[in-house]
Structure 1
Amino acid sequence: MFSTTRRNGKPPVEKHEDSTSDFLKEHAPARRAPKTSVDLETQNLNAKLANPLAGIPREDLIVQATLFAEKYGLQDLTPELQKGALVAQDPTAFEEHELLDEKDKAILRRELTHRWSHPKTLYYLVILCSMAACVQGMDEAVINGANIFFATQLGINPEEGDRNQWLFGLVNSAPYLCCAIVSPWLVAPLNHYLGRRGTIFVTAIISWLTCIWQGLTNTWWHLFIARFVLGVGIGPKSATVPIYAAESAPPVIRGALVMMWQTWTAFGIMLGTVIDLAFFKIPDLSGIRGLNWRLMLGSAGVPAFWLAILVYFCPESPRWYMRKGRYRDAFNSLARLRHTKLQAARDIYYIHVLLEAEKDSNVQGRNRFFEMFTIPRNRRATVASFIVMFMQQFCGINVIAYYSTNIFVQAKFTEKQALIASWGYGMINWLFAIPAIYTIDTFGRRNLLLISFPLMATFLLLTGFAFWIPFDPDNPDGKRIAVVALGIYLFAMAYSPGEGPVPFTYSAEAFPLYIREVGMSCATAILWFFNFILALTWPRLLGAFGAQGAFGWYAAWNVVGFIAALLFVPETKALSLEELDQVFSVPTRIHAAYQLKALPHNIRKYIFRMKVDDLPPLYKHEGVIGTKTYAPGGAGHA
């Protein structure tokens, strides 16, 4: 597998040409401090990890591949490994290699022209990863319909006082409290000892058992404990599955497959609302009170059970095998995921040299968490990633995901109407997540955020203000419930292709390779912590401020999100590691000043279609605005 950076076969450049634009030079000539030894060491480390094979003569590369085969007991694959090493060095130059015959070249051409042509095993793995995402969505969503039943039965009806509002929020938020304070510490040891498949198996079993456990509780604190343990099934799985997909997928479709996590989590949320609706009319049996909400909570365990059974039919991550020194198993795994031995040999050799580069660069001996904040380039990436992860929660989306049924009931929907309306929200959330697979790599991460936040703020205000529309008991299907539903549906339409898919994609690429795992773990912890805060506080917020104030609160946060994205979140779409270093090396004050100048300029140019002079680009790789070399999703395009 290849890194996301572009590899052209050229050696890493130790001393880079000045990559800042004329705008940056003009506005900050005295502020650009010389790079420290730590900055230069980090830059050289990033370049080395970008392509460890760059600059090696072909003859030497063939010898190294031969030694690799001998060292790890792969002598029978020596010819394939020699060819694979040459292709791995520069995937675009395979036509010129004499060692490759016409059949080999045809295979590599087809890989480029038929990007979705892969073995059935790979698609089986994709289906399993999608099922894992669906399990998570159901784990999160089935509580939505159950909320209108269990709260009264367990004595925590939020309409009966402040204490109950807090307890009701605490029960709802329990899994995310676990995800924030317990799960991040379990991801590394589970993956280290059990592998990707083993981690998915264990977390699926936990999800299955705790879903059943939830349905057997009879006190609020017992339900809280069961849901807290459910977080052990949600957190490590949410961190492991995207890694598993990325490590197993070929480079041409890796981004799309990783994006599937968000898409199928949204599908799971929609399916959870379907389950809630299906069990709504289930009557109590003798000795069983609240059978409907118990079946709702327990139903999410069914796909988790099948996930646990089916996951071991997938091959293990080849990268995990190689970390354990099991190179034959790694090759066999890749051979199941690729059409030919040549492709498997290419990928196993490149994974090997990346792992060796990490060891040689003494990555393990560095305090990577500390360097997230002390090295300016890393700190800017950390701030940007934390902003998008925080705002994925405080944009207000999970208020709807967890409490939409209660919100619709408060708007004077009947309970059945509220469940149907929640299903409509889930369907829209899923359907509008699908276009993000295309738009995130064409329109850009930053542009999606800058459009999504104002729309979400507007639609949350619409939803909140709709509660001021008088309710007419003689016309229960009147304007009030129609406008509330419209506001929530429009909000979901704005969220799903924007702030929905961007955070995980952005965080995965913003950090340098050597701190990417640590950075992603911290960013994910931020997301889960504020997910807990949102789920905990919403019932009390609704009780204290009313629907208008509660929705207005999150509308205001979307305005904050727009400002934060404008000033502190650079574009990362389609950039190499070297270009990302350039982007995050621009001082924050310079980036913010440029964006404040670009915002009114772009409003006049792109919204009012006025003729205005072009702004100079902020980064050299953008070219000149208005030319073919300019990247419209770049930082200079607000």
Structure 2
Amino acid sequence: MKQKRNSLYIFSITLVACIGGLLFGYDTAVISGADKSIEAYLVKPLGLGSLAHGATISSALIGCIIGGLISGYFASKFGRKNSLIAAAALFFLSALGSAYPEFLFFTKGEPSISLLLTFNLYRIIGGIGVGLASAIVPIYIGEIAPANIRGRLVSFNQFTIIFGMLVVYFVNWGIANGQPLEWINDVGWRYMFASEAIPALLFGLLLLFVPETPRYLTLKNQDDKALAILTKINGSSEAKSILKEIKQTVTVNVSSEKLFAYGKLVIIIGILLSVFQQFVGINVALYYAPRIFESMGAAKDASMLQTIVMGLINVVFTVIAILTVDKWGRKPLLIVGSIGMAIGMFGVAGLAFSNVIGISTLIFIIIYTASFMMSWGPICWVLISEIFPNKIRGQAVAVAVAAQWAANYLISSTYPMMMEYSSGLTYGFYGLMSVLSAIFVWKFIPETKGKTLEQMDNVWRKPSVNQHKAV
């Protein structure tokens, strides 16, 4: 008897994997509420300036780069599922350590260089978790999902990233709301970091109940287990044909799992996708959101509230991407999003040059972030999860994600200094990157809508001349 696709099962395991995305968003955005408290508690008492402050706020990104780099090794050596369990453990340790970096070795209320470095170490540990999750969650979902809904399911990971940011904006606002600044700078910021331990623990426990991906199992010659999972997901008849197709892509035409087995073009495209996603400046808006709104004249509580409003807008436009990515395709959404981001950033830049700060600035920021969330936010992760052939996916995603976090660190850590020099030029630079990102997509990105992961082998196995025609 022919079995039908088990939609509930697919959604359940996708939802569990996406808690990794929620933690990704939670960990990277929690610093937005604690930004000024960390500066007041750890940076200023030591006589350190904006460079040290920017490096501290962005230190988790060093861990993200490390996590991205090692994700390929972890995914190939230990499997997708076990790598996510490791990420959950790192999130949990970082949450508690960042909340109380004085544990065992230091005295509360006595800042020192050693304490500052210890705080940064805990943030880097969390960053390694983010780097692992950011690379492996899309791989996991992409390797589990049927081709016709893969874009939607991988995009849902971006939804949970943004939802995690929105949740932590509410948490930070709830902790700080109505409290004196002295309490926030002494105790409140600790609660912000510690709150992450709850979803981290939940993530680790739920991962014990999800399967390994069938494509990883096939790579490890565990065909019976792979077939069982494919059958549960797709039904018995379709499962056998999918397994046959998977086995062909991991055994023919590619004699090894070397990174450049399919040529350099696919790797370069993956890296540039990641770099452009960061060079358009989105994480500046996310990490420094309260500070940006305060510079526009909002009080501290009001700036956090405006950040929550931004978070809600981000969620709404991410949902638009989820609903359209498998209908309209990847390329149209990316190009439209790039145009919208360019309008938003050039608008903010023009107002900054004119020294105009107010509701018009907020409108352009909303245009910019909404455009990103309906395009580059989710679609970049969709493409990274599906564009690479089976044989090299783990390694190639690791390189692309490491490049993404390196670009993220560069943009985020230089933002305070760039703003000190010229806010107009800073936002103008992000607008220029948005224009270049549209040209890059138009020229080099192949449309992957509706293609199975196995069909991507054929896209990159063509001679280089035909590859350019395909894109």
Partners of 1:313 and 1:582 lie apart in 2 by 37
Contact 1:369 1:518 (C-alpha < 8 Å) held by counterparts: no
Q: Which residue, 415, 421, 424 being the options, matches 1:544? A: 421
Partners of 2:44 and 2:261 lie apart in 1 by 43
Contact 2:63 2:124 (C-alpha < 8 Å) held by counterparts: yes
Shift of 1:183: 1.8
Residue 411 of structure 2 is aligned to residue 534 of structure 1: yes
Residue 37 of structure 2 is aligned to residue 172 of structure 1: no
Write 1 or 2 for the structure with the bigger share of helix: 2
Where do 1:471-482 residues align within 5 Å?
480-482=357-359
Contact 1:282 1:292 (C-alpha < 8 Å) held by counterparts: no
Partners of 1:451 and 1:227 lie apart in 2 by 35
Identity over the aligned pairs, expressed in percent?
A: 23
Aligned residue for 1:256?
152
Could you list the runs of 4 or more consecutive aligned residues of structure 1 that deviate by over 6 angstroms after TM superposition? 284-288
Shift of 1:151: 0.9
Aligned residue for 1:313?
209
Shift of 1:255: 3.0
Q: Which residue, 221, 246, 249 being the options, matches 1:354? A: 246
Find the residue that maps to 2:49 and give its secondary structure.
Answer: helix
Q: Which residue, 116, 138, 148 being the options, matches 1:242? A: 138
Larger mean CA deviation between 303-312 and 499-508 belongs to 499-508
Aligned residue for 1:367?
258
Count of aligned residue pairs for this structure pair: 456
Instruction: Note closer, same or farther for the CA distance 1:481–1:243 as it changes in structure 2 (3 Å cut).
Output: same
Where do 1:623-638 residues align within 5 Å?
none
Aligned residue for 1:299?
195
Instruction: Note closer, same or farther for the CA distance 1:559–1:354 as it changes in structure 2 (3 Å cut).
Output: closer
Where do 1:423-502 residues align within 5 Å?
423-467=308-352, 480-502=357-379
One-letter amino acid matched to 1:580: V
Q: Which residue, 9, 16, 24 being the options, matches 1:136? A: 24
Shift of 1:504: 2.4
Q: Which residue, 453, 459, 463 being the options, matches 1:580? A: 459
Q: Which residue, 416, 420, 436 being the options, matches 2:301? A: 416
Instruction: Note closer, same or farther for the CA distance 1:327–1:369 as it changes in structure 2 (3 Å cut).
Output: closer
Contact 1:175 1:230 (C-alpha < 8 Å) held by counterparts: yes
Q: Which residue, 502, 518, 525 being the options, matches 2:395? A: 518
What does the per-residue CA deviation read over 1:449-488, in whole Å, with 9 as the maximum and x for residues that have no partner?
Answer: 3322232122113223434666xxxxxxxx8331222121
Instruction: Note closer, same or farther for the CA distance 1:329–1:420 as it changes in structure 2 (3 Å cut).
Output: same
Aligned residue for 1:558?
434
Shift of 1:306: 0.8
Aligned residue for 2:108?
none
One-letter amino acid matched to 1:542: M
Where do 1:216-235 residues align within 5 Å?
216-217=100-101, 218=111, 219-235=115-131
One-letter amino acid matched to 1:280: A
Instruction: Name stretches of at least 5 consecutive residues in structure 2 with no aligned partner.
Output: 102-110
Shift of 1:192: 4.2
Aligned residue for 1:503?
380
Contact 2:155 2:322 (C-alpha < 8 Å) held by counterparts: yes
Residue 43 of structure 2 is aligned to residue 155 of structure 1: yes
Shift of 1:448: 2.4
Find the residue that maps to 1:368 and give its secondary structure.
Answer: coil
Contact 1:372 1:515 (C-alpha < 8 Å) held by counterparts: no
Partners of 1:273 and 1:422 lie apart in 2 by 7
Instruction: Note closer, same or farther for the CA distance 1:309–1:569 as it changes in structure 2 (3 Å cut).
Output: closer
Contact 1:246 1:258 (C-alpha < 8 Å) held by counterparts: yes
Shift of 1:312: 0.7
One-letter amino acid matched to 1:260: F
What does the per-residue CA deviation read over 1:337-391, in whole Å, with 9 as the maximum and x for residues that have no partner?
Answer: 45x5x25xx5267436633652354532x63337532xxxxx2x33433322211
Find the residue that maps to 2:169 and give its secondary structure.
Answer: helix
Instruction: Note closer, same or farther for the CA distance 1:195–1:328 as it changes in structure 2 (3 Å cut).
Output: same
One-letter amino acid matched to 1:295: Y
Aligned residue for 1:393?
278
Partners of 1:157 and 1:555 lie apart in 2 by 36
Contact 2:218 2:246 (C-alpha < 8 Å) held by counterparts: no
Instruction: Note closer, same or farther for the CA distance 1:421–1:287 as it changes in structure 2 (3 Å cut).
Output: closer
What does the per-residue CA deviation read over 1:264-286, in whole Å, with 9 as the maximum and x for residues that have no partner?
Answer: 11111221211111111375899
Partners of 2:248 and 2:278 lie apart in 1 by 38
Tell which structure's C-alpha radius of gyration is larger: 1
Partners of 1:508 and 1:313 lie apart in 2 by 23
Shift of 1:331: 4.8
Aligned residue for 1:98?
none
